[in-house]
Structures are given as C-alpha cells and as structure tokens.
Amino acid sequence: MPYWLTAYRPRQFRAGFIVTDPTRGAQKIDDAGSYSGWDILPTINEGYRRVANWNDWLQMRLNRKATLAIVWRGGETKPDWLNAWNPSENVVVAGKTFPTFRKSFGAGRVDLGGVYNPSENPAGGRDTYWVLFAESDGKRAAAPPVPAGNQVPAPNQTCPAWLHDSYSTTGPDGQRYPTWHHQIDPVHWCYFRHEHGSDPAHFAGDYANALGYVAAKHGMAEPHNGFKNLTFESNGARWFVTLHMGTAGLGRACARFHTLDVAARSAGTGELLADLHLMADFGPSVVNDGGAYLTPPACPDQGAQAGDSHGVRRLPTQDTGSIGYEPWRPDFSSSVIGLSGTMVINNTDPMVICNTAVCDQAVSTNLSGSLRFLDANGFTIAAGSKNSGVFYTDPMGRTFVDAGAAGAVRQFIKPGLSLVLNHGDKCRDLDAWGAAFICGTSTPSLATNREGSIAAPN
C-alpha cells in the first residue's frame, strides 16, 4: 500500500479545495453542498485500485459513531455494496456533477468495497470514490480543543512542539522520558515528521517505553527521532525490542554503541518475563557489499578500534550500487545481563547513504527510513545466578552494580527463564499504523510513510 499517495483531510471538503488525483490531476471542488467542512479521504485512483472488485478493498476503523458519505466518481454503474447506502445530494468537482450516498456507522471497523462487484470482470477501470466523514448527527466535526496558550495544530502540517512533548512516560529511575507516539497525531491530525515503529500497546496495554533511558545513564543523548520499536509474537512469547537506528545522517558510521531494549511477556498469561536495557555494541561499520571498513573523516580508524567486536553495521555506499540493505547486529559476548545468540535488525530504505567507503559525503535516497525487519538465530534471554529477578548493571551491560551506583540501569529477568528466539525467518512490518510485526511471512515489509509526512531526520 503506497500510503504516501493520499491523505486524510479533516474539515477540508469545501468549495475551492483541490484534491491531487494520481490519474486525473488537480481536482477542484466547485460545489460541496451541505457537505462543506466535512472530512475527506480521497482513495487512491491509480493502477489496480481502479479495477478493484473485492468487498473489503478499503478498511477503516472509526473511533466514534459517524455519518459517512461516498462521492461516487465511477460512472453510471455502481457496485452492489452501495445499494445499502442512501442516495443524497450531488456535488460538483472540476466541472463534473457526482452523486453521493450516505450511511451511519458505529465505532469500530468499517469495510468498503471496490469499484466493481466481486462477480464482475473489471475492464477499463473506474475512478475510485471519495469518502466524507461527519459526526453521527451529520454535522461536520469541530476542531479539537487546545490547552490555553498553546499553538493550535494545523491538520496535515507539522505538529507544534508542545504536542510532541506531551507524549512522555516515567522511566525505571523515576525520571520523565519521551515515549512512543503515532506518526500522525490521531486527534489533531498533524504530522510529527518521524516514526517510532510499533505501538507499545501491542506488547502490553499499559506499557510505555522510556526512549533514551539507558543513554541518559551512559551520559549521552541519542537523537529522539532514531528510536524504533519492533513488537512481535514468537515461540510462545510477545517480544518488544527498541533500537536506536536513525538513517538520516552519516554519524551512524562512527557511533558504535546504541540503545537496545529487549522485553518479553508470556503470550498466554501476559506475565512479564524480561525487561533489559543496554548500550549495545554494534561493532565496526562496513560497506554492505564486500565488507570493507568505512573510514569517515570523523573516525577513520573506527574499524580497527572495533575489530575485536562480533557486532557489525553494514551500510550502503553509492559506488557499490546503493544497495538498500543495512543490517545491524549487536555483540553480546561481553554482556552479563543474560543475552546471547544473534539478532539482526535491517533497514532497507535508509534516508541517506555513504558516497564511498570514505563516507565523507551523504547521498540522499529520497526514501523515508521506515522500512525494517528483524531476523534472529538462537537469540536467547537466560537467567543466571546474578542476572535473576531485579538486578542492576552499568549502561553497557558489562558489570553488575548496586542499585544506588552512578549510572545504574535497572534490569529484570524472571528467575529460571530461558527464552529463545529462533524463527529461521523474518519478522516484518506489514502495517503503517504501529501494529505488531508479523513473523514467518514472505511478504516484504512496507515503508510506513503515511501521507508522505516523514521528513529527515527519521
């Protein structure tokens, strides 16, 4: 699904508004009638979508009761699913008159069909419809309230800082830290311009991970935009992994240590099995084609310095073909917190890559940096004599320390736990809405750049 080809536009269906249509070009609304000020979702009018004939072609989830209207642009013949809708007034778009159909829905999932019936043999294609939204009483939705003194968020524009900063949580040390938020704010529908992967609610409804906790204990601040969550279910457990892995700059060629948080719960009971945090060792950075050490001006000897590490960051370079494949593998051999085996997180659409192994020029890819997957081979969380129950380590996870020691990081493993992640295949992101990753599928991951809202850095 090319999420960047359309956008939900709150309160914007009115005379003079222009919809950019991939097939028809700019479509100016001449007469919106009584729908003026309703929300509009122009479905994607391109390619196979113009011959779609399945019943759940468009899947939506309403947060509350609503009245929906369909602006039918597909010609005189309409699909049977629209027979359950009430014919309503016409609207005029780009000089053409189109009929509309209304229907009320409760909160929850709503499936709408394609432009053809399932029994039809699509031929030629039809323009896709637009969906309009209003409150359950048919009145346009009011703009959400804003706390006094704060900048009012503008729909489809960058969110103000106060709204972004409102997403925070308390870390294990009692301090406040930023936490996960939607790519697009679900209330004001403004853009945060970056994404953090999976919603922690898919790991546990009350779980909010503290982004930057272990880095703060290490005395450093990692750029907020680079924190990426991956949650998935495998081997009877629900896993939650956070890695700091931004791709919008070349600093990642020099930065060997990055936040890695790993948590696990029983898939059956929800019991917390592990909650671990460290500045993981990702070894040397190398060219992803051939394995030559990168030699950036800021760290020309980084390969030699990290030569004893089993970790690695494989970055694309332009002169080797700009291969969109950037796997990062941490080294757990010096860790005392109970992690072992192999875990690889791969980003296949980095925002910028190196020009050559010298990596002294950033080459833009015009991609969003949001496409990633996880692979594992014998990755294990195991309790021992000291790393059992609640315990504390230094931020690198290499030594045990007292709870009150400077920089102490809180860790937890259920006593007696031995939990292995060993799919033999990959866990992939198939959704742009922060859903859990799916393991064992051959379907490629999706870039989750909803409405084209992501911008560097991400």
What does the DSSP 8-state code read for residue 16?
T
pLDDT higher than threshold 90 for residue 431: no
Give the C-alpha distances (Å, rounded to integers) separating 38 from 153, 186, 187, 191.
Answer: 18, 17, 15, 20
Asked if residue 156 is part of any domain, the answer here is no
Interatomic CA distance for residues 92 and 234, integer angstroms: 52
Asked if 451 and 5 touch (Cβ cutoff 8 Å), the reply is: no
Going by C-alpha positions, the residue among 332, 367, 361, 347 that lies closest to residue 457 is: 367
Closest to 222 measured CA to CA, from 210, 211, 209: 211
Please state, in angstroms and rounded to a whole number, the distance separating the CA atoms of residues 435 and 306: 35
Q: Do 117 and 187 share a structural domain? A: no
Mean pLDDT of 171-199: 97
Q: Is residue 265 domain-resident?
A: yes
Residues 342 and 255 in one domain: yes
Residues 201 and 82 occupy one common structural domain: no
pLDDT tens sequence across 55-77: 999 999 999 999 999 999 999 99
What pLDDT is recorded for position 1? 62
**Which pLDDT score, from 0 to 100, does residue 3 have?**
79
Q: Considering the domain boundaries, does residue 190 fall inside one?
A: yes
More confidently predicted of 42 and 1: 42
Tell me which residue of 132, 141, 137, 228 sits closest to 188, measured CA to CA.
Answer: 141
Q: Are residues 267 and 401 in the same domain?
A: yes
| Number of domains present in the structure of the chain | 2
Q: What is the arithmetic mean of pLDDT over 375-379? A: 92
What pTM value is reported for the model?
0.94
| Confidence label for 444 from pLDDT (cuts 50, 70 and 90) | confident
Average the pLDDT over 394-413 and give the result: 98
Regarding whether 165 and 98 lie in a shared domain, the answer is no
**Band of residue 435 on the pLDDT scale cut at 50, 70, 90:** very high
Is residue 363 domain-shared with residue 280, that is, in the same domain? yes
In a domain, 149, yes or no: no
| Cα distance between residue 74 and residue 81, in whole Å | 14
Average pLDDT of the chain, as a whole number: 96
- Could you read off the pLDDT of 112-159 as tens digits, one per residue? 999 999 999 888 899 999 999 999 999 999 999 999 999 999 999 999
pLDDT digits (tens, 9 = 90+) for 289-307: 999 999 999 999 999 999 8
Does residue 293 share a domain with residue 213?
yes
The parent domain of residue 22 ranges over 3-135
Helices (H) and strands (E) in the chain, counts: 3, 28
Report pLDDT for 83.
97
In 351-451, where do the E strands start and end? 352-354, 362-364, 372-382, 389-393, 409-413, 418-421, 427-428, 438-439
- Domain contains 119: yes
Q: What is the pLDDT of residue 315?
A: 98
pLDDT for position 67: 98
Predicted confidence at residue 248, as pLDDT, reads: 97
Q: Residue 383: inside a domain, yes or no?
A: yes
Task: Please give the Cα distance from 8 to 415 (Å, whole number).
Answer: 48
Asked, for residue 226, whether it belongs to a domain, the answer is: yes
Looking at the structure, do residues 240 and 305 belong to the same domain, yes or no? Answer: yes
Per-residue pLDDT averaged across 364-392, rounded? 96
- Tokens 């703009």 correspond to 143
Q: Are residues 94 and 181 both part of a single domain?
A: no
- Does a structural domain hold residue 347? yes
